[in-house]
């Protein structure tokens, strides 16, 4: 698989770790890195600031083997989330989206994206308005709605997304299936609900496919688990694997990530 990951990136800045430590990430960035880990190819298309965090982001992504030829340095700040570790738990503070706030794709970016097998973005990527054009050009599209599939960005992207992912580990199965059917009615081919320790469910318009987690006896950190699942699922489905096999590939990849601290 050759994945184009577009839009959001973010530095998680841990204020009380070693006097301040920056971890680069963000959904699309994570998915690009995990795709390379799985043996595929990926590119990240998005903006960083011309500050210290921007260079940290660029170097980290490039060192993981992701194509950064369309990562842009822009005047301003890289997106940052302030994080504290309190009793081993993350507490998220202020978020500054920096140069991501007014990000736009160029025609050159769009042509480059369309040279890939599939494009992925998430709720915070600022590029959902390009999904109609990208879908129309024939590239497969995927969108991660996080926990908010009814947000405006999701409403714009979902009708032009082949694969839609969202997270919901709270609703009953009955309510979850109603939610999945409503999302499916907007246009995607497959709707995948990620349910944390409860596994995942995929709806194809006719049948529901269910998959549990792949057991891990030493969970260190769940950061990036959902992004890992998405990368694993897409890598398999693009290669022609069945829905169930793709769900299992997603679960396997998620388990690999939770064995260590941080997304990657």
Please give the pLDDT value at position 91. 79
The pLDDT value recorded for residue 221 is: 58
73 pairs with which residues across the strands? 48
Low pLDDT (below 50) residues in the chain: none
| pLDDT recorded at residue 260 | 59
pLDDT of residue 103: 95
The whole-angstrom separation of Cα 201 and Cα 2 is 25
Query: Per the structure block, which two tokens stand in for 200?
Result: 């995942």
Sheet with strand 21-25: strands edge to edge: 21-25, 10-14, 80-86, 89-96
Domains by residue range for the chain, with CATH: 2-257 (3.40.1190.20)
Predicted pLDDT at 20: 78
DSSP 103: -
| pLDDT at position 89 | 65
Its pTM stands at: 0.92
Residues 6 or more apart whose CB falls under 8 angstroms from that of 150 comprise none
* CA dist., res. 264 & res. 262, Å (int): 6
What is the pLDDT, as a whole number, of residue 84?
82
For residues 205 and 230, give the distance between their C-alpha atoms in angstroms, rounded to a whole number.
19
Q: Where do the DSSP E strands lie in 41-189?
A: 41-49, 71-74, 80-86, 89-96, 118-122, 140-144, 163-167
């Amino acid at each position: 698989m050759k994945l184009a990951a577009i839009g959001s990136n973010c530095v998680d800045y841990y204020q009380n770790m070693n006097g301040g430590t920056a971890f680069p990430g963000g959904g699309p960035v994570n998915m690009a890195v995990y795709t390379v880990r799985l043996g595929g190819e990926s590119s990240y298309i998005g903006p960083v600031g011309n500050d210290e965090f921007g260079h940290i982001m660029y170097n980290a992504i490039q060192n993981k083997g992701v194509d950064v030829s369309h990562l842009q340095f822009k005047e301003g700040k890289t997106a940052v989330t302030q994080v504290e570790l309190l009793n081993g738990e993350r507490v998220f503070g202020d978020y500054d989206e920096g140069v991501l706030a007014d990000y736009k794709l160029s025609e050159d970016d769009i042509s480059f994206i369309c040279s890939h097998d599939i494009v992925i973005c998430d709720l915070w990527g600022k590029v959902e308005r390009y999904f109609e054009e990208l879908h129309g050009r024939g590239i497969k599209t995927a969108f991660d709605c996080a926990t908010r599939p009814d947000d405006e960005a999701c409403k714009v992207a979902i009708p032009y997304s082949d694969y839609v992912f969202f997270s919901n580990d709270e609703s009953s199965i009955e309510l979850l299936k109603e939610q999945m059917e409503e999302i499916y009615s907007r246009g995607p081919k497959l709707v995948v609900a990620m349910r944390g320790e409860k596994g995942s469910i995929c709806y194809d318009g006719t049948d529901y496919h269910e998959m549990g987690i792949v057991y891990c006896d030493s969970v260190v950190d769940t950061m990036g688990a959902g992004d890992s699942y998405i990368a694993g699922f897409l890598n398999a489905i693009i290669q022609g694997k069945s829905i169930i096999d793709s769900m299992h590939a997603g679960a396997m990849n998620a388990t690999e990530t939770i064995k260590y601290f941080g997304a990657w």
